[in-house]
Amino acid sequence: MLNQAVAPAQPKREFSVADEYEYNRSGPLRWILSHLLRYPHLMISFSLAAMLTNVLFSAVPRLTGLAFDEVLRPEPSVQRVLTIGLSILGIAIVRGFIDITNSWSVETLGQRLERDAREELYISLLGKSQTFHNRQRVGDIMARATNDVRQLNPMMNPGVALTIESIMAIVAPLTFIALIRVELLLAPVIWVVAYIFALRAYVRQLNPVAGAQRWRFGEMNAGLTETITGIEVVKSAAQEAQERRKFMDNARQVRDLFVRQGEIEARYLPLLLLGFALTGAFVHGLWLVSRGLLSIGDLVAYMGLMGVLRFPAFISIFTFSLMQMGIAGARRILDMMQEETELDENKAGYSAAIRGEIVFDHVTFRLDNDPDGLPVLRDISFRAAPGETVAIVGQTGSGKTTLTRLVNRTYDVDEGRILIDGVDVRDWNLDSLRSQISTIEQDIFLFSRPIDENIAFGLGNQADTEAIESAARAAQAHDFITGFADGYKTVVGERGVTLSGGQRQRTAIARALLTDPRILMIDDSTSAIDSATEDKIQRAIDRVLQGRTTLLITHRLSQIRRADKIIVLHRSEIVDQGTHDELMQRCDLYRRIFASTYEES
């Protein structure tokens, strides 16, 4: 059964987890509160501890005033003075234990808030569609997932913790002052009203600056990530100075926003207002003493309680800054989680073992679902029987790669439909569909992990060593892997940069073969492999793909000729389809493509 804080309509997403806790995402404050309400026992213990701490702290000035009155008596009672002294000592000891409870509760709340928010954001990012990720800058995502999430912890502790204590540090002294004499509330109440208005103006000035800081930091981080990711291009074009200027400009803008924050904090008024309040309170207290309406001890207690107000007046400049930074970070996190995604995992959808029949039925697709944009694919119709190999040929930009990405619902069609075994792919359970389809991209991505983990990635790293080695042998990768000092435990660099192009592709082929896919899509996967190795790989793939449907994008003549069917794309449309011999006889475009491919080969 699903845990719930709130039960809004579920947004579309491609991935979710069982028993996922649902948070209120209607606004940053409600979102943060829904996280905290997940741990009510910690909130209760923290609130009670904060209240008791301030009540006991405010009791000390009152006891001190009683001690003064006792000492100023003509015949002071030593026992009474000793009792008051021991009471103050007892309060200090009890406060120590309460402070431990207070600190533990709020620190645990802060850590859990950060942990849960990071988990929620990560699950949300995993559930976003490829179209969503195509729109994002990786550096900005990383800034939100790391720095913005990290801001939630100090926002809670010490930010929220000290703010709540500040509220208690106003209520408790005012209560004790009222118990001494109601008239004494004049100065502190006037200060509290002025404090609220000053604080409101302070927060209004600080809020946009905090938001701009978080946004500008994301921009700076995104630019840095792009530069480091594309460092090879930067160096080859000798543009280090230009990239440095861009980074310094972003860093300068971040610095300026922090300076702006400092200027706002420098105009913080509550401390100045408290100085006036203390002066007025002292004058008022002396006047009451002169009239015989207040004892010296009561005046001492009164001024001691007024001194307690220094804590909320001083700490607000610090705590509200932390809170605004945390709320700004929460808003950026929410903005990303609430961005629309196009696909849904369809948990209740159709699940079955795929036989491999693929039917494109008048399929039209536009990027970003732009109704006014030119279609990337227009009115595409063809059928691939189970076990068939279908080669897709066409000039650059004709839509070959996009066509294959529609099969596993990386994107969804705008018009028409795609059927797998007679069932619309949109009606399939997304996990069931994708788990039986493997793709070998032209641009191979390998994780910075051992080679065996990269090969076993499609099975959740659950494959045994024998199966991994068998797949590597079939992909002609075993020999070069065992040539490394650590063999299959060799850690490849990020994106596999420590491997050659051919080694990366063979590793990717092994990864695809290990999943035993019913449908395999290959996007020019042997482009970086020499002819001798390609022949070995092709023979291995031919054996492994018995009974599997393959969509093959390639410029290799040998692979095109072996295909059961060839689809010829031109300007987003199918101009012809058939076998190699049929197309050579009737399709001028195919003959031109074939001739240019032959010359390149």
Domain count of the fold of the chain: 2
Q: Residue 319 gets which letter from DSSP?
A: H
Check residue 22 and report its DSSP letter: B
pLDDT at 378 over 80: yes
Mean pLDDT value across residues 151-169: 91
The CATH number of whichever domain residue 454 belongs to comes to 3.40.50.300
The last residue of a domain, from among 338, 370, 398: 338
Residue 353 falls within a domain, yes or no?
no
Q: Cα(474)–Cα(500) distance, rounded to whole angstroms?
A: 19
Q: Name the percent of the chain lying above pLDDT 90.
A: 46
pLDDT score of 274 more than 50? yes
Which CATH number do you get for residue 116? 1.20.1560.10
Query: What would you report as the CA-atom Rg of the chain, rounded to the nearest whole angstrom?
Result: 35
Give residue 294's domain range: 28-338
pLDDT for 441 equals 81
Contact indicator for 256, 288 with CB cutoff of 8 Å: no
pLDDT tens per residue, range 473-502: 888 889 999 999 999 999 987 767 778 877
Q: How many residues does the chain have?
A: 601
**What does the pLDDT look like over 392-446, one tens digit per residue?**
998 888 889 899 999 999 889 999 999 999 999 999 999 999 989 988 887 788 8
Residue with tokens 């946009």: 208
Sign of the dihedral defined by the CA atoms of residues 236, 237, 242, 246, in that order: negative
Helix-, strand-, coil-residue percentages of the chain, each rounded to 5: 65, 10, 25
Question: In this predicted structure, what is the pLDDT of residue 224?
Answer: 86
- Say if residue 294 is in the same domain as residue 412: no
Q: What pTM was computed for the model?
A: 0.81
With respect to residue 239, please indicate whether it lies within any of the assigned structural domains: yes
| Model confidence at 555: pLDDT above 80 | no
Looking at residue 7, its pLDDT comes to 40
Token pair in block for residue 21: 């806790």
Omega prior to 8 cis, within 30 of 0: no
- Mean pLDDT for the chain overall: 87
Residues 319 and 404 grouped into a single domain: no
Kindly tell me the burial class for residue 180, based on how many C-beta atoms sit within 10 Å of its own C-beta (0-12, 13-18, 19 or more).
Answer: buried
| pLDDT in the model for residue 547 | 73
Mean pLDDT within 326-342: 89
For 514-528, the pLDDT digits (tens) are 888 899 988 875 555
Question: Which residues, 6+ apart, have CB-to-CB distance to 597 below 8 Å?
Answer: 555, 557, 560
Is residue 268 a contact partner of residue 261, using CB atoms and an 8 Å limit?
no
Q: Is the pLDDT of residue 5 over 50?
A: no
User: CB of 45 within 8 A of CB of 99?
Assistant: no
Q: Is residue 130 in some structural domain?
A: yes
Closest CA to 451 of 493, 513, 514: 493
Compute CA distances 546 → 355, 356, 386, 519, 541, whole Å.
12, 12, 10, 11, 9
Statement: residue 52 has pLDDT above 90: yes
Task: Choose among 270, 263, 275: nearest CA to 317.
Answer: 270
Exposure class string for 193-206: b at 16+ Cβ within 10 A, else e: ebbeebbeebbebb
For the stretch 241-260, pLDDT in tens is 888 998 999 999 999 999 99
pLDDT at residue 79 greater than cutoff 70: yes
Let me know whether 301 and 383 are in one domain: no
